[in-house]
């Protein structure tokens, strides 16, 4: 029996902007397919899905975007029977991004058109695109389309404690851990973090170093989210979380396996969101994985709007 081929993975977004207080979304016309769809494209080797979404949108539309909440997936069969799975996000486009965009009609995308949601619903060719549009409209209706994110990162694979003679906090990353750090940097950057906070442990600082180099952000080392402080009972995680929710700025928090479940639980508690199965799964990260908690910028009572977890490719 021949094993089924894995699905073809792709990523895209509902790009949107406000015009006179009303949302308009971007629809692309593909002349080669004679269809109207949402911008998307296939994952390149070594990419994370968020990285793919940002790259494909830039290539297809000329727009540099920041990803917001995830809008789920759609799947459909390709000619020949192989399945295609497309992951979507919401992505607001500001005036600056529009000014910088340089779209040129090409063989793949013949034209771009911004239109109200209702018109886009009539224009889009495929029913699965309408499902994604419905999810986006639900965000608009709940005042949760504009968000900031807390990106919780577990450090990359480090040298095992049994083979390290120095203090635990000085354990370095293994080669695999260094590869993981590079592999997740662009995926995290797709959400445009404005601040990077790391445990003081060497393995955490090394994990966010490629992200800092990519974004130009400085890394703030904090004992407050270190494993040593957590295990000694002096870490004040509620205070850390309260400050982040008050600031409402997209922030990376790089910490440790024992710390992250308690940290994410605190975000859920203080945001008024119960710890469901999705949040519990999202808090149990393997090394080199990151979870993103999305919060409304304009509606604090919305709690955690969405949660997603990724790892290096």
pLDDT at 313 (0 to 100): 78
CA 215 to chain centre: 15
What CATH number has the domain spanning 147-311? 3.40.50.1240
Topology of domain 8-141, CATH: Nucleoside Triphosphate Pyrophosphohydrolase (3.90.79)
**90-104, 217-231, 266-280, range with the lowest pLDDT:** 90-104
pLDDT attached to residue 4: 74
Structure tokens at 36: 């109207």
* 57-66 mean pLDDT: 95
Instruction: Provide the percentage of residues in the chain whose pLDDT is more than 90.
Output: 89
Give 3's pLDDT tier (boundaries 50, 70, 90): low
Q: What are the residue boundaries of the structural domains of the chain, listed by start?
A: 8-141, 147-311
Confidence band for 2, pLDDT divided at 50, 70 and 90: low
Q: Which residue, among 140, 146, 7, 122, has the nearest Cα to 66 in the 3D structure?
A: 146
d(CA 149, CA 264): 12
DSSP structure class, residue 248: T
% of residues, the chain, pLDDT over 70: 99
pLDDT at 233: 94
Q: What is the pTM of this model?
A: 0.95
Query: Taking residues 12-23, what's their average pLDDT?
Result: 96
Query: How open is the CA angle 264-270-275, to the nearest 5 degrees?
Result: 50
CA–CA distance, 225 with 237 (Å, rounded to integer): 7
Give dist(CA 62, CA 80) in Å, integer. Answer: 32
Q: State the distance between the two ends of the chain, measured CA to CA, in whole angstroms.
A: 28
For residues 174-197, average pLDDT: 98
Mean pLDDT along residues 179-199: 98
**Angstrom distance (rounded) from CA 291 to CA 240:** 17
Query: What is the chain's mean pLDDT, rounded?
Result: 95
For 18-25, what is the mean pLDDT? 95
For 118-144, what is the mean pLDDT?
96
Q: How far apart are CA 198 and CA 253, in angstroms?
A: 6
User: Per-residue pLDDT for 229 more than 90?
Assistant: yes
Output the pLDDT for position 125. 96
């Amino acid at each position: 029996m021949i094993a089924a081929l894995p699905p073809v993975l792709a990523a895209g977004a509902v790009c949107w902007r406000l015009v006179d207080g009303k949302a308009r979304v971007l629809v692309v016309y593909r002349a080669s397919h004679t269809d109207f769809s949402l911008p998307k494209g296939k994952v390149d080797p070594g990419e994370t899905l968020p990285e793919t979404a940002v790259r494909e949108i830039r290539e297809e539309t000329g727009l540099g975007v920041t990803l917001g909440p995830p809008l789920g997936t759609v799947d459909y069969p390709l000619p020949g029977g192989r399945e295609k799975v497309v992951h979507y996000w919401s992505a607001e486009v500001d005036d600056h991004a529009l000014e910088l965009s340089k779209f040129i009609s090409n063989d793949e995308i013949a034209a771009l058109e911004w239109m109200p949601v209702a018109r886009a619903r009539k224009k889009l060719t495929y029913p699965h695109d309408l499902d994604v549009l419905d999810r986006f409209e639900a965000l608009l209706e709940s005042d949760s389309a504009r968000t900031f994110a807390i990106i919780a990162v577990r450090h990359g694979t480090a040298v095992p404690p049994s083979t390290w003679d120095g203090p635990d906090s000085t354990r370095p990353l293994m080669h695999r851990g260094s590869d993981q750090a590079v592999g997740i940097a662009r995926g995290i950057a797709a959400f445009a973090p404005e601040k990077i906070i790391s445990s003081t442990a060497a393995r955490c600082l090394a994990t966010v170093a490629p992200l800092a180099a990519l974004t130009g952000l400085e890394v703030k080392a904090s004992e407050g989210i270190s494993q040593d402080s957590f295990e000694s009972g002096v870490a004040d995680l509620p205070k850390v979380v309260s400050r982040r929710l008050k600031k409402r700025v997209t922030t990376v928090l790089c910490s440790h396996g024992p710390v992250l479940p308690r940290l994410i639980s605190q975000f859920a508690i203080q945001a008024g969101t119960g710890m469901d199965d999705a949040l519990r799964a999202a808090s149990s990260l393997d090394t080199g994985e990151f979870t993103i908690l999305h919060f409304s910028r304009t509606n604090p009572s919305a709690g955690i709007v969405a949660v997603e977890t990724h790892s290096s490719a």
